[in-house]
């Protein structure tokens, strides 16, 4: 026969208090992540690429003609192809 431990409500409450884990504030974590220099740089790069990729902007991008013709659907894909070609 198995020995079973039966706890009183008070003992359960005491144990619960002992193992309490502080709640995580996701907003604080998000704020800390967004303050990271690497993340801020990546977000800035994303804004730049989004601006360049927008067909309605007045910016210019120089890429090899054949790569642009192979990727008319996406400036990002054209940049990736140009980067692969150079390495």
Over the chain (87 residues), the average pLDDT of each successive run of 10 is 76 76 82 89 88 81 91 88 82
- The helix or strand, by DSSP H or E, that contains position 66, with its residue range, turns out to be helix 65-70
pLDDT at 8: 86
| Residue-wise pLDDT tens digits, 32-43 | 888 899 998 899
Per-residue burial over 58-82, b if 16 or more Cβ lie within 10 Å, else e, is eeeeeeeeebeeebeeebeebbebb
Closest CA relative to residue 63, chosen from 47, 82, 38, 86: 82
pLDDT at 71: 94
């Amino acid at each position: 026969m198995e020995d079973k431990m039966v706890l009183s409500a008070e003992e359960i409450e005491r144990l619960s208090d002992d193992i309490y884990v502080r709640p995580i504030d996701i907003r604080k974590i998000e704020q800390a992540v967004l303050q990271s220099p690497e993340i801020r740089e990546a977000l800035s790069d994303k804004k730049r690429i989004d601006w360049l990729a927008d067909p309605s902007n007045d910016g210019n991008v120089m890429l090899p003609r054949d790569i642009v013709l192979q990727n008319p659907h996406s400036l990002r894909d054209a940049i990736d192809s140009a980067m692969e070609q150079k390495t």
